[in-house]
Structure 1
Amino acid sequence: MSFTDSSKKSDPANPKDGSSSESEKPSNEKQPTKTRGQNKKLDRSSKPKTPLPQKMDEEDLGICIQITEKLSNSVYAFGFRSPPDPTDEDGQSYLSATESPMDFQTLLNKLNTEGYRTVNEWKNDMNLIFDNAFNYFAPKTMRYDSAIKLKDKFTDLCQMFTKSEEERWMIKIEKLCNKYISADNEQ
């Protein structure tokens, strides 16, 4: 069972989708003449793209681990702490119905082995835990409601990441200055 629908509906307004209709026949009307440069499409791919970092910033990694551990230790996390048991009937059902299973243990392992390059990659996996629960469990059940509470807590805890890039740099600079000042005082 899959929760995604890969079937495409044909769009009569969009002939590129492979569908055709009688009203889409080419007309004999004269098309306006294009002036120089009009037939060039804007190529956004030629702009230099900022490459993703090889690994997550240490400060961000620490915050991600703290948040993940806090959520994992919550009383509401009982059904999401570890991967489902594939030998168990409920585990088999969940695994067959869930395209991309995720749990706190897997997420923490990935954090500890530098499996995330950005905070957003980690957030996506965290949200996958909740989205899987919302798709698999019926509303108003204990696990569904637990996922709601965990997601709300996650949203609150992620406020640590809402600082602007400038504010985050200032904090890093302040920490480095304090480190050098304390090292200088020890000498």
Structure 2
Amino acid sequence: MGAPRGNDPVLTGRLRLTPVVVEHVGELERLYADPLVARWTGPWTPDAVREWTQGMARRWAEDGVGKWMAHDRLRGTLVGRGGLSRTVLGGEAVLEVGWVVRDELTGRGYASEIGRAALGWAATFFPELPVVAYTEVHNRASVAVMRRLGLHSAGVIHREGLVEGRPGLHAEAPFALYRQVLTMISHLV
């Protein structure tokens, strides 16, 4: 068996993670129709889901990295999606880790499982790129996942998103930024 390739499925204790491809549109439409998922990521129209899916498939082809579909390893049922995206943040090339889990499956550790898989994948295939995560400051569940993954607070950034207590999207919403801190250990010889 050869070395793993970046687009090979990733297996965790409970999940099979496979790169998003255009054939996943139907599953993604179902995922983004969940009320809690839609609250943080939507609203999504069928055209928007199709466009996002096509874009993610292109990112895998062009960038060698992207989001995965997350399925239960035993039953094959949809759990969510997550993984990494290559982006530029404050002029620095980074990998952004993120996740979305079906409403009925939240609170069971799936987001952390997807995040841990993504951090391991990044260390294998893109060790030179820092990993960050961000979410609206009031998304306490995602902030808790970031902390469980060992990411450290790196301040607040502003981008389009939700503002607690105010309806709709806002151009300069505050997002909690977390970053992976890699400790370099040197040995004296």
Q: Structure 2-normalised TM-score?
A: 0.30
Name whichever structure is richer in strand by fraction.
2
Greater RCO, 1 or 2 (C-alpha within 8 Å, sep 6+): 1
* Higher gyration radius (CA): 1
